[in-house]
Amino acid sequence: MTGYFFWREKIHQDFGHAYKVELVFEERNLQKVQIFKNQTWGYFFVLDGIVQFTERDEYIYHEVITYLPASLLKRAPETVLIIGGGDGGVLREIQKIPGVKKIVQFEIDRIVFDLCRKYFFKLMGDYSDPRVELNFVDGLQGLKESDNETFDLIIVDCTDPVGPAKSLYSLEFYQEIHRVLKPNGVFIQQASLPAYFPHVLKLALQASSVFPWFDIARVYVPCYGEELAFILGAKEKKEPSNPLQAYHGKYYHPGLNKALFTLPQTWLNLVEKRDPELNKGSVL
């Protein structure tokens, strides 16, 4: 490991988050992968210059992206699809849900998986579980090779649409998700930080033209420095504030649903395309 230095996560030309770190690993392949060590956040994982998760608060993100959609289902999901999620955090939470029979994963970058298995093994789910089918393939390609109405729950735990994830924020992608989702299933996707990157939520809004039921949720994950958005879609109406399944984690509990689905006016404006200011790159 190197000595300590300050690394900056660049949010905008003139703004970023600075961390005093030791560099643990760095390599550029399909994506630029960096692993740093920091006193406050512990070891943390960076792709293409953007913090993906930290040892300290990853459970907040992984619990909400898993339990929030699962709480809206009539019964526990039997078949689950994870797109992205190479760090194994979503798999870890899925494997805590009783009744899951099959878990399929489409992760595009084997290096992410191998590095997380080496440096973040404790945070990963159990890939030796016979229910798990891990495929190193682009998410959209994997969907195209999947049968109709196969999955109860689809979790898109991907990077922002800067590198290989561009195809995961397209109308074609949402139409394929719709095709492989079961009639009473539900899908969720991370839609980045609207305060910093409102264009990502705008791209994700394309899903609202595909799914009869569509909604947006938010959660504050301290290491991201801002609230993160999730989009959710389903073929039948869901009751976000009246969860049908009760899951409990270190952070998530069913009583949180109402708060997580209550959006600030700036986001509502963005969704209702009412505020031209938002096209200028910030909702602050």
**157, 160, 215, 275: which is the annotated catalytic residue?**
157
> How deeply is 17 buried, as exposed, middle or buried, from its count of CB atoms within 10 A (0-12, 13-18, 19+)?
middle
Sheet holding 15-28, edge to edge: 5-12, 15-28, 32-38, 42-47, 50-54
Shortest Å, Cβ 157 to ligand SAM: 5
Q: Which one, 55 or 87, has the nearer CB to ligand SAM?
A: 87
Site stretch for ligand SAM (CB under 6 A), options 12-20, 21-29, 82-90, 123-131: 82-90
Q: Which of 138, 152, 176, 226 binds ligand SAM (CB under 6 A)?
A: 138
Binding span for ligand SAM by CB under 6 A among 9-17, 19-27, 108-116, 231-239: 108-116
Does 168 contact ligand SAM by CB under 6 A?
yes
Task: Clarify whether 215 is annotated catalytic.
Answer: no
Q: Using the rule CB under 6 A, is 189 a contact of ligand SAM? A: no
Any contact of residue 57 with ligand SAM (CB under 6 A)?
A: no
CB nearer to ligand SAM: pick between 152 and 160? 160
Contacts of 89 (CB under 8 A, 6+ apart): 53, 58, 59, 61, 62, 123, 124, 125, 157
Q: Which residues are known catalytic residues?
A: 157
Residue ranges in contact with ligand SAM by CB under 6 A: 52-53, 61, 83-87, 106-109, 112, 138-139, 157-159, 164-165, 167-168, 190
